[in-house]
Amino acid sequence: MKSLFEKVWEPHVVVPETEDTPAILYIDLHLVHEVTSPQAFNLLREKGLPVRRPEQTLATMDHSTPTTPVSSLADLAVVSDTPATRQLVQMEKNCEDFGIKLRGFSSPERGIVHVIGPELGATQPGRTIVCGDSHTSTHGAFGALAFGIGTTEVGHVLATQCMLQRRPKTFAVNLEGALPRGVAAKDIILSIIGEIGVDGGTGHAIEFRGSAMSSLSMEERMTICNMAIEGGARAGMIAPDDTTYEYLAGRPYVPSGADWDEALERWQQLPGDADATFDKQVTLDVSKMKPMVTFGTNPGMVISIDDPVPAPSGSDEAFAKALDYMQLKSGTPLSGTPVDVVFLGSCTNSRLSDLEVAAGLLNGRKIAADVRMLVVPGSQQIKDAAEAKGLDRVFTEAGAEWREPGCSMCLAMNGDFVPSGKLSVSTSNRNFEGRQGAGARTVLASPLTAAASALAGAVSDPRPYLD
């Protein structure tokens, strides 16, 4: 009678929790990037401690990296003495000092941390995975227990390969039916967050289950788990199946030969038992879903593309403030609102399949003259694969900018930002005030909706373009 979560959590408990103390949990994989790790490495230096398991630490640079071409970090440091550049330089030194392999500027394996972990096969079913980043929940798509941690905890894991953690409750989100044409995984997770709210999963690990899950690719599953945190959850998980195993087979970190057979047998025991119970459950029919767009300043403020902006219930000052910030009015359609910037990228939607569906919509068409569109692949491998397919030419011929890998415009800390007051349709995961730049207004959407909006020059339904 165990759920997927319980089957992963229990073998990793080193010391059980008590009423007074959290459990000590063993961590299989620690993902590290340049923004939340400097203080943690300094803590190790101050205490004279080594990294406990450097071979279980995967490091990259992503948040602060420019997405314009740079030949080397040394060259960047010469021309750009900014806090972001200094973070990158310090990351290189920290990894060198502590014996951690870094996927830096010159690495063909570099990219967004939540993209390259699965890409390299370091993300595997049954593992505990942490990173100093909220969207670590992405890796739960493989049947791993993955969650974001703070800078102090990054130091703890570097030093001990363990961390303190309270056991979360369990929450089953049952998804039934088949996705309609023009509706994507991003629309599923935005619909879920709209249903449960931004705090609906607080204190819980969500397991996404049901008949709809089996038809989704690993990329689509990663999109869903990526935004579990935006529904308040500690983690998001999906049980591994044949789709998972086919994705992992042959990747660099994945076992081979007899070790593969042993791993596969172990992974196949992870799906929850039929009689597993959950602390909370909700069921949604994906066949009734439509393309979704956010209208406010958190991902729970979301509507379908053909719905009007809703009115606040009672005297909701936060709701009214969000509409004022977004320059929108209740009762009016969001569809048709002029768009200034379109961003296709982030750890939510920067994988090859995301680029392919957007390119399919843009192929042979031109984006609106007054729209700036950035297309930022999630990793160097994705960039290379997209260029081999000619997707870069599709984007540039449509009028978009084809960039180098990185977090880019998901957050305004690397030179890519939305100017104040301008409206962005973005495939990223957060639409908070100022997230994409001071005064920037963000509408979260799928790659299909983003591409359609770029073509129309306004927030637009992608479905007519598919006819």
pLDDT digits (tens, 9 = 90+) for 56-95: 999 999 999 999 887 667 667 655 668 888 899 999 999 9
Residue ranges of the chain with pLDDT lower than 70? 71-72, 74-75, 77-81
| pLDDT of amino acid 312 | 87
Integer Cα distance of 144 and 263 in angstroms: 14
From 315, 340, 456, select the one nearest 409 (Cα to Cα).
340
Q: In angstroms, what CA-CA distances link 83 with 91, 293, 415, 416, 417? A: 12, 33, 11, 15, 16
Question: What pLDDT does residue 309 have?
Answer: 97
User: What is d(CA 267, CA 248) in angstroms, rounded to the nearest whole number?
Assistant: 12
Residues in the chain: 467
Read off the pTM: 0.96
Question: Of 235, 241, 165, whose CA–CA distance to 206 is shortest?
Answer: 235
